[in-house]
Structure 1
Amino acid sequence: MSYQKIIEYLGKDADYLLKHTSKTIDKQLLHTPSPDALDQVFQGSNRSIPVLRSLAALHGHGRLADTGFLSILPIDQGIEHTAGASFAKNPIYFDPENIVRLAIEGGCNAVATTFGNLAIVARKYAHKIPFIVKINHNELLTYPTKYEQIMFGAVEDAWNLGAVAVGATIYFGSEGSNRQIIEVAKAFEKAHELGMATILWCYTRNNAFKKDGVNYETAADITGQANHLGVTIQADVIKQKLPDSNGGFTAIDFSKSVPQMYTELATDHPIDLCRYQVANCYMGRIGLINSGGESRGESDLQESVRTAVINKRAGGMGLILGRKAFQRPFDEGIKLLNAVQDVYLAKEIELA
C-alpha cells in the first residue's frame, strides 16, 4: 500500500496526524523500534539467551521481520466474548487451523490464541509461525457476569506446545487485580526461566472508572500507570488500548497525580496521549503494541490504519489486531492486516 493510500485512508485527519510535532516528551528520550532494538534494549538486562532467542523469533517473522515492529494476530475471543458471538460473522474460525492460517497468510509476526487452539494444530504449525499462548482468560458463563481473569493452563504446557511467548491479562483496578498481579508475575518468572518471552494485556477494569459519560478505563493517565505496573513485573511487550481521554485520576479523585502530567507530559492530541503510554513502558525500552478494538464494519480498515499511524508516530512497536481481521471474509482479513503492516513499512511516517 502506497503512502498516498495511507493518506486517503486517514481522510480529513491526515494532516492532523501526519504533520503533528509532539512538544511533550522529547522523542530523543525514547527507545524506539529498529532492526537492532533488541540488542540495544536487552543486552544489559537479566533476560537469558533463550528469552532473547524467543524475542528474536517474534521480531524475525512475517512482513515486518527485522524492522523492530510487530504485527500480531490475537484470537482468544472464543472465550473472552463467547465463540458464537465472536465467530458468527465468519464461522470458519470455529476451526483453530484457520486462525493460524490467517496469521501466516496475513504476514503477521506471530499468532496469539488459547491453549486448546494451538494444541490441536501444534505439530503442523509450531515451526511455521511463532506461537503466543494466552494463559489466562475471563470465562463468560458466570451469572451475573463478572470480570475475573483466571489461569487456563500451566506455563510449562505453553513451552511444550513450542510457544516462543506467553500472554496474560491483568484487569488493573478490578476486585481481583491483586491476585492477578501475583499470579501473572509468577507465570512470567516461570516463562523466562523456560526461555519464553512475556506479553501483558495491560487493561484497566472498574465500573467506578466511568463518570459523567466518560470511560476513563482508556484514559492516558490510568492506562499509562497500568503499563508501568506491567513492565515492573517484567513483561517484554505491553499490549494496551489506545487512549481516548485523560485526567482519569483527577475526575474520579483517586490514586496520585500532579498537574504536570496533564500540562507538560501530554496534550489532548492522540499521538501525545499514546506517547505518555510509551513513556510509562520505560521510555519505550519495553515495546508498546496497541490493540485494534472491536469490529465496526466498513470503517475497520480506516480505523486500523489510523491507530497504526498514532502508535508508530508516538513511539510504539506495533499493533495486535484481531476482531477487525477475522470478523470478515478471509481475503479481506489479510488485506486489513497488510494495510496495518504497510504503515510500519512506510519510511515517510516518522516519530512525531
Structure 2
Amino acid sequence: MKITRKVKDILAKYEADNPGTKANLARLLGHGRLGGTGRMVILPVDQGFEHGPARSFAANPPAYDPHYHYQLAIDAGLNAYAAPLGMLEAGADRFAGQIPTILKVNSSNSWATEKDQAVHGSVEDALRLGCSAIGFTLYPGSPWFNEMAEELRELIAEAKAAGLAAVVWSYPRGGDLSKAGETALDVTAYAAHLAALMGAHVIKVKLPGEHLEQSEAAQVYEAQGVAAASPAERVAHVMRCAFAGRRLVVFSGGAKRGETSVFDDARAIRDGGGNGSIIGRNTFQRPRDEALAMLDTIVQIYRDKA
C-alpha cells in the first residue's frame, strides 16, 4: 500500500475521523495500479439486486459467478470491489486480503414502485467480512429521502465508530425531478453536496450534463457565470460543491455503451479534478479480455498516460 504525500494530504482533509477510518481510506487510495495517486477506479456489482440477474449478467455468462468479479477487479489492478452481502460472502474467504471491499448495504429492485431502498447489510457484516467501507444509496428528490437520510445518519455514525469509511451513491430521482433532471448539473452538484453534508467519505454521482433543472439555481448559475460548457468544467463544479474538493468524488459509468464514450468520460473526470470512476456494467457485461483492456485504458487515463 502506497501512503504517498498525495494520500496524506487527502486524509488530512478528514479532520474528525479516527485512525481506523483513515487507515481504511488509505487502503482504498493505496491499492492497485492507481495506488498513491489520489485517483480510484472501483468495480461495483450491485446490478443483480437492482435490475435482476439476466439483465445484469446474461451478456457475459461467467459474470453470474461472484468469484468472477473479485478476480476481474484484482487482475485489473483496481482500488476496490463493491457488492451486496451475498456477493461478498461468496468469495470472502478465497479472496481475503487481495483487494479492499465495500459492502453495499442497501438496494432497490426492478419491481419496486417507490423511490426507496431496503437496508440488507450492516456495519457488523462489513467488519466480519474485512471490508474497508460500507456503501449506501441515497435518493435526493425522493418522497422517501428523509427516511433514507435518517438510515444513512445511523449507519455512517456506526461505521465511523467502528473505523470504517462510508461511500454514498447520491442519485437524485423521484418527486418533481424530470428524467433529464436526474443528471442535471445543478441537481448533481446538489446531490454531491448533500452526501458531503451527511458525512460521506467518498461520494458517487453520475456525470452531469448541461441541463439545469431548478429555475432558482439556473438564475444563479447564469448570474455568477458558472463554467459548465464542457464535461470537465461540469466535473470541476461538482468537485467544488463537495466541500471545495475536500471530499473524494467518483463518477458512475452508467449503462453499457461504446468504449470511446467511456474513455472520453474518464478524461473529463480527470481533467475536471475528479477522483475517478466507479464502473460496473461497462466492464463486466463485456468478455473478460475486453473488460481488462478497457480497464487498463481507464487506469492509464487516470495516470495521465492516455
Distance in structure 1 (CA, Å) of the matches to 2:213 and 2:4: 36
1:268 offset after TM fit, Å? 2.4
In structure 1, runs of 5+ residues without a counterpart are 1-33, 251-255
1:258 offset after TM fit, Å? 6.6
Alignment deviations for residues 277-296 of structure 1 (CA, whole Å, 9 cap, x no partner): 11111111101111111002
The match for 2:292 among 334, 340, 344 is 334
Distance in structure 2 (CA, Å) of the matches to 1:123 and 1:167: 20
Q: What is the identity, as a one-letter code, of the residue corresponding to 1:283?
A: A
The aligned runs of 1:9-48 (5 Å cut-off) are 35-43=4-12, 45-48=15-18
Alignment deviations for residues 7-45 of structure 1 (CA, whole Å, 9 cap, x no partner): xxxxxxxxxxxxxxxxxxxxxxxxxxx943442243360
Distance in structure 1 (CA, Å) of the matches to 2:218 and 2:49: 39
Q: Does 1:53 align with 2:13?
A: no
The aligned runs of 1:129-278 (5 Å cut-off) are 129-142=99-112, 145-206=113-174, 208-210=176-178, 215-250=180-215, 256-257=216-217, 259-262=219-222, 263-278=224-239
Does the CA contact (< 8 Å) of 2:10 and 2:38 recur in 1?
no
Q: Secondary structure at the match of 1:223?
A: helix
Does the CA contact (< 8 Å) of 1:134 and 1:167 recur in 2?
yes
Does the CA contact (< 8 Å) of 2:32 and 2:78 recur in 1?
yes
Q: Does 1:309 align with 2:267?
A: yes
Moved more, 232-241 or 258-267: 258-267
1:267 offset after TM fit, Å? 2.6
Alignment deviations for residues 158-186 of structure 1 (CA, whole Å, 9 cap, x no partner): 11110001111001101111111110121
The match for 2:40 among 39, 61, 70 is 70
Q: Secondary structure at the match of 1:257?
A: helix
Distance in structure 1 (CA, Å) of the matches to 2:147 and 2:173: 14
The two structures, once aligned, show a CA RMSD in angstroms of 1.7
Q: What is the identity, as a one-letter code, of the residue corresponding to 1:131?
A: T
> Partner of 1:95 in structure 2?
65
Does the CA contact (< 8 Å) of 1:203 and 1:240 recur in 2?
yes
Aligned-pair identity in percent equals: 34
Q: Secondary structure at the match of 1:206?
A: coil
Does the CA contact (< 8 Å) of 2:25 and 2:132 recur in 1?
yes
Whose Rg is larger? 1
Q: Secondary structure at the match of 2:160?
A: helix
Distance in structure 1 (CA, Å) of the matches to 2:52 and 2:16: 38
> Partner of 2:242 in structure 1?
281
Structure with the greater relative contact order (CA < 8 A, sep ≥ 6): 1 or 2?
Answer: 1
Q: Does 1:292 align with 2:253?
A: yes
Alignment deviations for residues 205-239 of structure 1 (CA, whole Å, 9 cap, x no partner): 026322xxx61110111111111110011111111
1:257–1:141 distance in 2 versus 1, CA, 3 Å: closer
The aligned runs of 1:80-91 (5 Å cut-off) are 80-91=50-61
- Compute the TM-score of the two structures, normalised by the length of structure 2: 0.94
1:203 offset after TM fit, Å? 0.5
Q: Secondary structure at the match of 1:248?
A: coil
Does the CA contact (< 8 Å) of 1:290 and 1:320 recur in 2?
yes
Does the CA contact (< 8 Å) of 1:246 and 1:268 recur in 2?
no
Q: What is the identity, as a one-letter code, of the residue corresponding to 2:217?
A: S
Does the CA contact (< 8 Å) of 1:126 and 1:163 recur in 2?
no
